Amino acid sequence: MSKIIKIFDTTLRDGEQTPGVNLNIQEKLEIARQLEKLGVDVIEAGFAIASPGDFEAVQAVATELKNVTVASLCRAVEKDIDRAWEAVKNAVSPRIHTFIATSDIHMQHKLKMSEDAVLERAVAMVKYAKRYCSDIEFSAEDAGRSRPEFLYKIFEAVIAAGATCINIPDTVGYTAPKEFGGLIKGVMENVKNIENTDVSVHCHNDLGMAVANTLAAIENGATQVECTINGLGERAGNAALEEIVMALTTRKNYYNVQHNIDTTQISRTSKLVTSLTGVQVQPNKAVVGANAFAHESGIHQHGVLSEKSTYEIMTPESVGLSQNKMVLGKLSGRHAFEDKLKDMGYTLEQDAINKAFEKFKELADKKKVVLDDDIHVLVEERVSQIPEIYQLKSFQTNSGNKVIATAMVELTKEDQTVTEAATGDGPIDAAFNAIERAVGIEIKLADYNLRAVTGGKDALGEVSVKIAKEDKTFMGRGVSTDIIEASVKAYLNAINRMLSEIA
Ligand code: KIV
Ligand code: ZN
């Protein structure tokens, strides 16, 4: 039987280091639940010592999830390890993931430590962590630019000290596939006690080679790969989970390895991460981009109609994309709706089903056919659970090419109604200005994104915005068949998030 590659997902840790991404605990839990359904082997839920919010999120994920290993990252420092253990100790399968840099550049300029001192610290901290937890991962940060002989030495020493997994990160996405594969081969051949340890890789995408490097590592003996959904992560991001997994699946004849991922959960996981982080996926992104399975040219369309395999190397169904056929209409009842939710893989509490059903009925009144993608968006709207400090009561806009756009908004806060009007550069800008007046806070709009959830003139519009206050950004999301309403809802959602987080 071919070997199983462990999939270590770090969307909630490295992925959350994507500029502008800031997930709350509910959102992290929702993503973690979906990652468990997807079948990942390890979830790195955060960096426990980084902030109280990170700590609570790691703890919540560790306490709730039962079928996955939950890890927290920590520097090779006692107080970090204490905090990491405190956060993961309730997990069915906890892991402490400790790291220290091993490249000359990092040791000299960042750590100001010699090789000997780094090695001594690494061993001491692995032993320290081992007192708490049997599963210890050790990462040699910037391994891609480290001296291979030093890596062999430090890995051998930390394995002897109790590390059960050694990780080889290409922290700055510097290496090329053949070179990185060679590094893994060197580790496999030169670290004497490597057999009983997982050999992990963690590749960044600065030169667009993260997935290629990861696959080269698998060909040379890696047994675990670290990755993120949609390739989120620091700078250019990390290796994308969906691309690695679909390469291993589609080219099983070449890679000859297995994994535990249920690939039919990929599309849903990607959409959930997109909507909660507000980071849109480029349309031509492999596997999860909107065009990944679209055939534009006549020759391709003709080919696919005669025989799908002419231009499709994997099926949309294999990544969980439905054909988006008509699913329900305004005459559909609760029973049909609940069946549909189950069919789509949702297991919701009764209260959440009721709310989704209400929203579905509203939508079905406006839109002739409600498609799977509409339902995904409606259901995922419930996730954030941001307290609605300000609620939208009504809004009105007036605009045209010969008039100055104006907007009036009516908001409620507790039992008070605030009404404000403003002008702006178009109706959305005017509405945002009116909201800003009504809440009495100066707000900077840092990002605005609008996408049509499905095709057609009556498609749901999904708006995500980011607002900035001092050095923090807050994401908001709104959906409606009316794009101004979706924008207003998104802006208010971001404001409510900001007010609840800085309160
Ligand atoms: O990129 C990196 O080196 C990391 C490690 C801390 C694992 O994220
Ligand atoms: Zn990283």
Q: What is the CATH number of the domain that holds 226?
A: 3.20.20.70
Domain membership of residue 283 (yes or no) is no
**Cβ of 14 below 6 Å from ligand 1:** yes
224 C-beta closer than 6 A to ligand 1: no
Last residue of a domain, one of 352, 383, 414: 383
Instruction: Tally Cβ neighbours within 10 Å of residue 114.
Output: 11
Q: Are strands 326-328 and 370-371 parallel, antiparallel or unpaired?
A: antiparallel
Distance 239 CA to ligand 2 centre (A): 10
User: Is the CB–ligand 1 distance for residue 44 below 6 Å?
Assistant: no
| pLDDT, tens digit (0-9, with 9 covering 90-100), for 222-254 | 999 999 999 999 999 999 999 999 999 999 999
pLDDT of residue 323: 64
The answer to whether residue 477 is domain-embedded is: yes
Quick one: 211 and 114 in the same domain? Answer: yes
Question: For residue 102, which ligand has an atom nearest its CA?
Answer: 1
> Do 347 and 395 belong to one domain?
no
Q: Is the CB of 174 under 6 A from ligand 1?
A: no
Could you write out the DSSP letters of every residue in 345-384? Answer: T----HHHHHHHHHHHHHHHHH-S-EEHHHHHHHHHTTSS
308 lies in some domain = yes
Q: What is the DSSP letter of 445?
A: E
User: CA-to-CA distance for 145 and 207, rounded, in angstroms?
Assistant: 14
Q: Is 138 in the pocket of ligand 1 (CB under 6 A)?
A: no
- Tell me the H-state helices in 20-51: 25-38
User: Domain for residue 286, yes or no?
Assistant: no
Q: What is the pLDDT of residues 279-312, one digit of tens each?
A: 999 999 999 998 898 776 677 767 777 888 888 8
Are both 183 and 297 inside the same structural domain?
A: no
What range does the domain containing 311 cover? 293-321
Residue 379 covered by a domain: yes
Task: Give the CATH number, domain containing residue 433.
Answer: 3.30.160.270
Point out the domain boundary residue: 383, 407, 433.
383
Is there an atom of ligand 1 within 6 Å of 102 CB?
no
Q: Does the residue 285 lie in any domain?
A: no
- Ligand 1 centre distance from Cα of residue 10 (Å): 10
Boundary residue ending a domain (383, 413, 431): 383
> Residue 458 has what pLDDT?
81
Q: Which residues of the chain are under the pLDDT cut of 50?
A: none
Q: What is the pLDDT of residue 470?
A: 80
Ligand 1 pocket, 99 CB below 6 A?
A: yes
The closest residue, in CA terms, to atom 2 on ligand 1 is: 171
Give me the residue label for tokens 């391709």.
300
139 Cβ closer than 6 Å to some ligand 1 atom:
yes
Nearest-angstrom CA–CA distance, 273 and 201: 23
pTM: 0.88
Distance 124 CA to ligand 2 centre (A): 23
Mutate which of 77, 100, 103, 141 for ligand 1 pocket (most atoms within 8 A of beta carbon): 141
CA of 140 to the centre of ligand 1 (A): 8
Distance, in Å, from the CA atom of 467 to the CA atom of 498, rounded to the nearest integer, reads 9
- In 206-273 the beta strands, taken as DSSP E runs, fall at 224-227
Are 234 and 98 in a shared domain? yes
Angle at 41 between CA 36 and CA 47, to 5 degrees: 85
Please give the pLDDT value at position 15.
97
Point out the ligand 1 atom lying closest to the alpha carbon of residue 97.
7
Among 8, 73, 174, say which to mutate for ligand 1: greatest number of ligand atoms within 8 Å of CB: 73
The widest CA-to-CA distance across the chain, in whole angstroms, is 77
Alpha-carbon span 296 to 304, nearest angstrom: 11
435 and 317 both lie in a single domain = no
Whether residue 171 has its Cβ less than 6 Å from ligand 1 = yes
HSE-up of residue 91 (Cα within 13 Å, Cβ side): 31
The answer to the question of residue 287 being in a domain is no
> Would you call 99 helix, strand, or coil by DSSP?
strand
Q: Tell me, what's the pLDDT at 384?
A: 58
CA-CA-CA-CA dihedral for 463, 349, 317, 61, to nearest 10? 80
Asked whether residue 255 falls in the same domain as residue 366, the answer is: no
For ligand 1, atom 7, the nearest C-alpha belongs to 139
User: Is there a single domain that holds both residue 70 and residue 101?
Assistant: yes
Tell me if 274 CB under 6 Å of ligand 1: no
Instruction: Give me ligand 1 centre to Cα 267, in Å.
Output: 26
Quote the number of domains for the chain: 4
Q: What pLDDT score does 351 carry?
A: 86
What's the gap in Å between 174 CA and the centre of ligand 2? 13
Question: Which pLDDT value is given to residue 406?
Answer: 97
Give the residue whose CA is nearest to atom 1 of ligand 1: 171
Q: Let me know whether 315 and 361 are in one domain.
A: no
**Which helix (H) or strand (E) covers residue 408, if one does?**
strand 405-413
Do residues 347 and 316 share a domain?
no
* Whether residues 123 and 48 fall in one domain: yes
Q: How far is the CA of 75 from the centre of ligand 1 (A)?
A: 10
State the pLDDT at residue 377: 83
Indicate whether 207 and 312 sit together in one domain.
Answer: no
Neighbours of 325 (CB within 10 A): 8
Q: Which residues of 429-440 are buried (b: 16+ CB within 10 A; e: fewer)?
A: bbbbbbbbebbe
197 within domain boundaries? yes
> Which ligand is located closest to the Cα atom of residue 97?
1
Examine the domain organization and report whether 358 and 466 are in the same domain: no
